[in-house]
Each structure stands twice: as C-alpha cells, then as structure tokens.
Structure 1
Amino acid sequence: MSTGWSWYIIVIAAINIAGYTWLLWWTAKRRPGDPKPEDTSHVWDGDITEYNKPLPKWWINLFYITIVFALGYLTWYGGWGNYDGTSKWSSKQEHAQDKAREDAKLEKTFAPYQGQSIDVLAKDPKAVALGRSIFGNTCSTCHGAAATGAIGYPNLTDKIWHWGGAPEQVLETVLNGREGVMPEWGKVLTGMGGDNAVDYVIAYVRTLSGQGSLQNDFMAARGKTLYDGVCVACHGVDGKGNQAMGAPDLTDDYWLYGDSKESLRQTISTGRHGIMPAHRELLGETRSRLVAAYVWSLSNTASGSANPQSGQQAQ
C-alpha cells in the first residue's frame, strides 16, 4: 500500500471514530428549551405518546467503551494504514504459520512415497487414492473429473500419449510441463499447392487413419505430395508422429482437437498451441509423483504389466 493510500485510510478511520464520539456526546445532553420527556406533543390514537427520554447512562458508557476498544484494536492489530501494530500481527504472517503447520502434516503423509517410481506407486492403493485426490484438486479442471479430457485437453484413460507413456515420461510431463506447437501452415501449403492445398492434406491425413484411400482419390494423392514436403518432418513418413517433439500419431483414431474437416482445417491453417503447465513448484516432487502414478494407473494394469510405450502416442 502506498503512503498516500495509507494516510487516506488513517484519516478516514480517525474522522469516523471522532464523528461517532461527538455524535454520542451531542445527542446525550439535554439542553435548555428541550421538551420534557413526556411532553413531545406526538400523540397517536388518543393515548399513545412519544417520549423524549435520553438513553440510559449504562448504554452511553458502554458505547464509549466500544470506541476505546476500537482505538485499542486498531493500534494493537495494525488497522491504521501501513502501521504494523504494537503486536506485529498480520494476516499474512498468520497464514504463513498455518500453512507451515499444514504443510508439515502433509509432508508426514507423503513421506513414505518420496522418490518412488510412479509404476511402483501405482501398485499401492493408498498412493493411488492420494494421487486421485490431488488430481481432483489440481488436474480435473482441464482433464475432467473422470480424466477423459475434452477438446484440446487429452484423455488420460487411453493408451495414447503424445509425449510418451513410460513412467518417467509421464512424471516428466507432470513435473516440468509440456508445450505442443502445431505451426501455421495454411499460407505455406497454399503457396505450394493452390487454394485447395489444405483440403488436399486433410484428405491424405484421413487416409492414414483408415478414413479414406489413396486409390482413385485425386485430393488425397495431391495431399500426400504436400504432406511429404511439409508435415513429414514432425509426423514422419508413415504418420506415426514423434514423441520427442509431442507430434501426434496420425494413424490412430484419436484427435485432440476433433476430426471434423473444420477442426482439421483450423489445425493445419492456423496451427495449435497447447500447454501443459509445470507442477513441480505447485505440488512438489512427491505429490507430483503421486498424481502421475494415478494418471499412469488409469491406462495400465495394477501390476504394471502393460507396456506403456507400445502403440502409444501421447497424452
């Protein structure tokens, strides 16, 4: 808070307290010429009379005590602008102390799982339960309560991993995050193949996942030529993608942003930019391991017998 705002608060608070005190003093006094308590001339229904009796002394004195208490409270707890208060108490300091106590409790809870591999943790029901709780508080906003994802947010329950599904790869994703970039290729493709170039590439990409055939398909054939000139660098000659770059496999039936022509046209023409935030600072090492173990367990058996790298192209 700036010095100017600090003084503004101090002055406003002081004026209000002084105003309450003056008003209480002024209204508590009887002055010459005031009507008698029973003589206000305010009468209703013949016998209902308004009196003008002053407040009892005990009530007035109690009000004065509350004013003194307010002054002491503001001075003790630092209610005068930037003044820290004689007690040096602050809500920030109390929050930090409470957080430290709760963090110590959490560390005690998480200590048994420190440094363990996520495939080992996935075999422990208690560890998985803790990971599920962390997921619900942290990850479900994007990936959903059931971890099935949404448009632009990966489904974590299948066998498809854009950045690799091995335990250490999943942990790396949670700890340090990922940034997937599909460049904008619309202008480049149009310059190479004309106004319909993007549609040609869409037609060919669809054949990679069994949604069409190159035979007798002029658009797909033209699209393959364009694909080989531009897209092959990331997605490979066979369209299997590249986990090291986060480039998805185009031969499966999973489409992160949807498989409609409109969605594919937007992906190719204007690109996509997906970010998985790093959670190392937010969750810490052990909690990241627990949530990674939970995520890994969703698509692997409890015994860890499933091969996380077999036929998997990224979450």
Structure 2
Amino acid sequence: MTTGWSLYVIFLVVLNIVGCAWLLWWTSKRRGDEARNDSETTGHVWDGDLTEYNKPLPRWWIILFWLTIVYSVGYLVWYPGMGNFAGTSGWTSAKEHDADKAEADARLAEAFGRFDGMPIDEVAGHEEAVAFGARLFQNHCAQCHGSDARGARGFPNLTDGDWLWGGTPDQVLASIVDGRQAAMPALGAAIGGDVGVTEVAAYVQSLSGIKADPALAEAGKAKYAGVCAACHGVDGKGNPILGAPNLTDNIWLYGSDFASISEGIRNGRNGMMPAHGPIIGETRSRLVGAYVWTLSHGKDAEPPDAP
C-alpha cells in the first residue's frame, strides 16, 4: 500500500472513531432544563395515545458504548488496521495461513508419511491412500481431466491404457510432480501448404485404419517420413520421451476427423500439464498417482464415485 493510500485509510479510521465518540457524547448529554424535563417528547404519536419520549440512554448502556470504542482503539494498536501500521503484535494473514498450513501438513505427514517414496502402484494397494488421492484429484485435477477422469478434447483420458509420456509408475508420478509441456509445431508451410496438409492428414488417418483417399495417403507418406517421423516415428507409433502420440491406434486427443487432424498439422498444438509437486507436495502427488493408477489398472478400470 502506498503512503498516500495508507494515510487515507488512517484518516477514515480515526474520523469514524472520533465521530462515534462525539456522537455518543453529544446525544447523551443533558443540558439545563432539558435534563430536568422528563416529559419532553419527539412529537411522534401512534394510535392516538402512544407517545415517543426524548430521554437519554441508560448510563450502563452508554458505558458499554464507551467500552466498545476503547476496545476498538486497543484492537487497532494490537492488530494491523491503520494503513501500513503493522500493529504491535506482528500478526499478518500470511503468518496465520503459514501456521495453519504447517499444522495441517504435520497431520497429513503423520497420517500418510508411511507412503513417502513408495511407488504409486504399491500405494494403490492401500484403500485409505487411494480414497485420499481421489479427493485430491477432485480438488486439483478434475478441472481439466473431468470428475470421472475421462478427459475432454485436448485433455487426456486417464482411465484407458494410452499414455503420451509413458505409463510406468515413475513416469505417471513424474507427470504429476514436474508437469509436462507438449508442443506440436505448425508444419503447414514445411510440408507444402494446404495441399501438403491434405495429403499428410489423409496418410495419418490411414495409419489408424480410418478410410482415406489412397492417392492422397500415398502422396502424404513421403512428406510424413521427411518431417513428421522425427517425432512420431517412421511407423507412426509415437515417442513417449517427447510426448508424441501414437498415430496408429484409435485414441485421439483432439479428434480423428479430417478437419481436426489438418488443423493440428497446419497450426500445431500446445498442451501443458502444470507441475503439482510445488502445490500439493511429493507424498500427496503419490497419493493422486495411486488413484490415477487404479483407474486404468483396477479390477474394473472404472473410477469410483467422486467424493
């Protein structure tokens, strides 16, 4: 907060306190004949005989108001509330948050510390850990992958056996802890403009058994080998090290229709999985990983109901 805004806040706070104190003093003071005239009214009458008298507040009530003002002054001395003045207690909301977080982390460490360093496929054998991982998933992962973990356009389905970056326990954990950055460059110009895009798209469709024009697919094969095979492989089966998807199966992150494939070739794709290690920590990342592992390796391979 700048000095100007700080002074503005202080001015408003002091003005309100002084104003309340003056109003209390002025309205409770009796003067001359007014103090002795207990029959003075405000002039308000209801139902013909209900008259509102103008009498000062009881002394005990006035004392309570003064105590409230004194308390507010003491509060503003002890806690921050006067612009940039930090208060004599040194309290801040950040310290309060850090203390609460440390307390919560200590409880969680006590409850789940036994899973530190344990592979996620072993953690998946503990029902309590998987249930906790499911709740973490709903809080941190469902926004992209869906509450049922089946993903959406541009967000992978976590309940099947297809893994862009590899599906081993260590690879799944690395995706959660460190995140992933996928990049499909725009190749429209590199493969010959719209004609080249059409030919390569037809060839890519043919790799997975989708019906495509044979002549276009054959023409696109050479262009694919010269440009696309560097990431997706000569056989189109992809490369988990690069996050390059397998083009020979029936799983498509952005869609298998001709328009979607052409768009990806022409303009490229960019997918980003944020690193959750700094957010939820390494052990809780293992719990999430264990839950995700059960989705594609459980007995029924179906996600449980969202908590």
CA distance in 1 between counterparts of 2:82 and 2:273 reads 44
CA distance in 2 between counterparts of 1:44 and 1:116 reads 79
CA distance in 2 between counterparts of 1:95 and 1:229 reads 55
2:296 partner amino acid: S
2:66 partner amino acid: Y
Tell me which residue corresponds to 1:244: 241
Tell me which residue corresponds to 1:294: 291
Deviation at 1:39, TM superposition (A): 4.9
**Equivalent residue of 1:186, what SS?**
coil
**Equivalent residue of 2:225, what SS?**
helix
CA offset digits 1:1-53 (Å, max 9, x no partner): 33332222211100110011111222223446869544555445543433222
Aligned with residue 282 of structure 1, among 254, 279, 282: 279
Q: Rate the CA distance shift 1:212–1:70 in 2: closer, same or farther, 3 A.
A: same
Comparing 53-62 with 134-143, which one deviates more in the overlay?
Answer: 53-62
CA distance in 2 between counterparts of 1:124 and 1:27 reads 69
Tell me which residue corresponds to 2:10: 10
Deviation at 1:301, TM superposition (A): 4.7
Deviation at 1:115, TM superposition (A): 1.0
Tell me which residue corresponds to 1:136: 138
CA distance in 2 between counterparts of 1:205 and 1:213 reads 9
CA distance in 1 between counterparts of 2:194 and 2:132 reads 53
**Equivalent residue of 2:53, what SS?**
coil
Q: Rate the CA distance shift 1:186–1:32 in 2: closer, same or farther, 3 A.
A: farther
Contact 2:124 2:130 in 1 (8 A): yes
CA distance in 1 between counterparts of 2:57 and 2:281 reads 61
Map residues 125-204 of structure 1 onto 2, 5 A cutoff.
125-189=127-191, 192=192, 194-204=193-203
CA offset digits 1:97-134 (Å, max 9, x no partner): 22211111101111111111122222332332232222
Tell me which residue corresponds to 1:27: 27
Q: Rate the CA distance shift 1:195–1:93 in 2: closer, same or farther, 3 A.
A: closer
Q: Rate the CA distance shift 1:49–1:122 in 2: closer, same or farther, 3 A.
A: closer
CA distance in 1 between counterparts of 2:149 and 2:243 reads 20
**Equivalent residue of 1:274, what SS?**
strand
- What is the TM-score when the length of structure 2 is the normalising length? 0.89
Comparing 53-62 with 198-207, which one deviates more in the overlay?
Answer: 53-62
Tell me which residue corresponds to 2:250: 253
**Equivalent residue of 2:209, what SS?**
coil
Deviation at 1:245, TM superposition (A): 0.7
State percent identity of aligned pairs.
Answer: 54
Deviation at 1:87, TM superposition (A): 2.7
**Equivalent residue of 1:187, what SS?**
coil
Map residues 90-101 of structure 1 onto 2, 5 A cutoff.
90-101=92-103
User: Structure 1 runs of 4+ off > 6 angstroms?
Assistant: none
Tell me which residue corresponds to 1:272: 269
Contact 2:188 2:194 in 1 (8 A): no
Tell me which residue corresponds to 1:206: 205
Deviation at 1:220, TM superposition (A): 1.7
Deviation at 1:57, TM superposition (A): 2.4
Tell me which residue corresponds to 1:120: 122
How many residue pairs were aligned?
A: 297
Q: Which runs of 5+ in 2 are unaligned?
A: 300-307
1:248 partner amino acid: P
**Equivalent residue of 1:81, what SS?**
coil
CA distance in 2 between counterparts of 1:213 and 1:278 reads 39
Q: Which runs of 5+ in 1 are unaligned?
A: 303-315
Contact 2:202 2:258 in 1 (8 A): no
Tell me which residue corresponds to 1:231: 228
2:221 partner amino acid: K
In angstroms, what is the RMSD of aligned CA positions? 2.2
CA distance in 2 between counterparts of 1:94 and 1:103 reads 14
Q: Rate the CA distance shift 1:70–1:230 in 2: closer, same or farther, 3 A.
A: same
Aligned with residue 109 of structure 2, among 104, 107, 110: 107
Q: Rate the CA distance shift 1:112–1:40 in 2: closer, same or farther, 3 A.
A: closer
Comparing 282-291 with 42-51, which one deviates more in the overlay?
Answer: 42-51
Q: Rate the CA distance shift 1:98–1:212 in 2: closer, same or farther, 3 A.
A: same
Comparing 241-250 with 34-43, which one deviates more in the overlay?
Answer: 34-43
2:230 partner amino acid: A
